[in-house]
A = this chain, B = another copy of it.
Amino acid sequence: MANTTVAVIGGGPAGLAAGASAASLGSEVVIIEKLPFLGGRPIEENYASLTPYLRSAEEAMGEVIDHALSFENLTVMLDSKVIAVTGDPGDFVLEVQSGEEVVSLTAGSIIVATGFQHFDPGRETQMYGYYEFDDVIALQDLEAMLKEGRVQRPSNGEEPKRVCFVQCVGSRDRQIGNEYCSKVCCGVASKEAIEVRLAVPGVEVFIFYIDMRMYGYWESQIYWPAQEKHHVQYVKGIISEVLPKDGRLLVRGEDTTMGRPMEVLMDLVVLSVGMEPSMGTREIAGILGIEQNKYGFIEAVKGPLDTVATSREGIFAVGSALGPADLEDCSSTGGYAGARATAFIRSHAKAGI
């Protein structure tokens, strides 16, 4: 008898959407998550709120998790990691390290939802002092602070008077090998800038950017309110280094609009780090034998009109396992892949293979 199970590897926003979609169509679904909880990066990294509506990440992801778990034909394996896959499309066999034991499960189709990791701003050519100076933090560090309801300088616990965001850290950068744009950092930084303005009375907030990539509705939903209502100050410029000075941080670069060198003192510097494929994404690509692009993300081999197909029949990829993705992308590709995996299993069964 044909195997009617869809194995979803990864329980973040895209994996949960994929699992719920496949389950809603009658497939047996197993979501395999390496962490002891569902929700992906927004939960793992303690995001305060989601872009663009500043809705509580815990609440919004909670609803997504509850929806997935509402299907009787969907089960979840936590603390679990796929370590080997054999068999063929329609009849895969997954070896899963689940806690202490290794279990074997079969699946007709596989959905890869292993996501991204944040670029490590201490790497190589980065002159921002992320590991040297306490008050240089990254987008996700500020998220975690905002979730705790505080915005402080890690060095002394004081509220900052001047905060800046440095865009494109680890993105659009040939030297480090990430030529792509990470898509969401302009929106996330602007959202966090608004939250900092709301949290700290009188704080000045600057965003140093190359292009503000507030595509679609983000322009009117975040970018305009950030400027007009919350008085976030956007400066087109390129930051080359961050240095300590008089207990504060000296941010050096070039104001490209004014065409002159720039040196400004800040209390808190937030690096808008980009997306790279997670270790899980790199590993599973090798295990499954599916094509990756030069950056290590899973290649969507069929191009823009078929967003979730990988190089192997019966295996689909979703969300930021495919490359930089916003939450809408995760929802849509996840939901689509649930349909594709289900249809694949049924056509395979019908063909009597």
Given A25-B339, A220-B179, A259-B258, CB of A331 within 8 Å of CB of B346: no
Q: A157-165, A280-288, A320-328: which one contacts chain B?
A: A320-328
- Once the chains are docked, how many angstroms separate the CA of A213 from the CA of B64? 30
Point out the residue from B183, B211, B339 that lies within 8 Å of A211, measured CB to CB. Answer: B211
Query: Is the beta-carbon distance between B64 and A346 smaller than 8 angstroms?
Result: no
Known: A25-B343, A217-B324. 10 other contacts (CB 8 A): A24-B343, A26-B346, A50-B304, A60-B305, A64-B305, A179-B224, A180-B219, A181-B214, A213-B213, A236-B236
CB of A280 to closest CB in B, whole Å: 20
Q: Please encode chain A, from 318 to 351, with 1 for each CB lying within 8 Å of some chain B CB and 0 for all others.
A: 0000011111111111111011101100110000
In the assembled complex, A306 has its CB within 8 A of some CB on chain B: yes
Task: List residues of chain B with CB within 8 A of the CB of A37.
Answer: none
Total copies of the chain: 2
The 8 residue pairs across chains A and B that have the minimum distance between CB atoms: A335-B336, A339-B339, A332-B332, A179-B220, A24-B343, A211-B211, A181-B219, A304-B327
Number of interface residues of A (CB under 8 A): 65
In the assembled complex, A216 has its CB within 8 A of some CB on chain B: yes
- Once the chains are docked, how many angstroms separate the CA of A307 from the CA of B342? 20
In the assembled complex, A150 has its CB within 8 A of some CB on chain B: no
In the assembled complex, A172 has its CB within 8 A of some CB on chain B: yes
In the assembled complex, A212 has its CB within 8 A of some CB on chain B: yes
Q: Which residue of B lies closest to A221 (CB)?
A: B180
Query: Is the beta-carbon distance between A218 and B181 smaller than 8 angstroms?
Result: yes
In the assembled complex, A312 has its CB within 8 A of some CB on chain B: no
Query: Is the beta-carbon distance between B308 and A332 smaller than 8 angstroms?
Result: yes
Point out the residue from B306, B332, B338, B342 that lies within 8 Å of A329, measured CB to CB. Answer: B332
Query: Is the beta-carbon distance between B343 and A331 smaller than 8 angstroms?
Result: no
Q: Report which A residues bind B (CB closer than 8 A).
A: 13, 17, 21, 24-26, 50-53, 55, 60-61, 63-64, 171-172, 179-183, 211-220, 224, 236, 256-259, 303-308, 323-336, 338-340, 342-343, 346-347
CB of A278 to closest CB in B, whole Å: 17
CB of A166 to closest CB in B, whole Å: 17
- Once the chains are docked, how many angstroms separate the CA of A172 from the CA of B256? 22
Query: Is the beta-carbon distance between A303 and B219 smaller than 8 angstroms?
Result: no
- Once the chains are docked, how many angstroms separate the CA of A164 from the CA of B219? 24
Query: Is the beta-carbon distance between B183 and A215 smaller than 8 angstroms?
Result: yes
Task: List residues of chain B with CB within 8 A of the CB of A24.
Answer: 339-340, 343, 347
Task: List residues of chain B with CB within 8 A of the CB of A180.
Answer: 216-217, 219-220
- Once the chains are docked, how many angstroms separate the CA of A113 from the CA of B181? 29
Query: Is the beta-carbon distance between B183 and A216 smaller than 8 angstroms?
Result: yes
Task: List residues of chain B with CB within 8 A of the CB of A64.
Answer: 305
CB of A336 to closest CB in B, whole Å: 3
Q: Which residue of B lies closest to A275 (CB)?
A: B216
Q: Would you give 9 A-B contacts (Cβ < 8 Å), ordered by A?
A: A21-B340, A25-B346, A50-B305, A181-B219, A182-B216, A257-B257, A304-B327, A305-B330, A332-B335
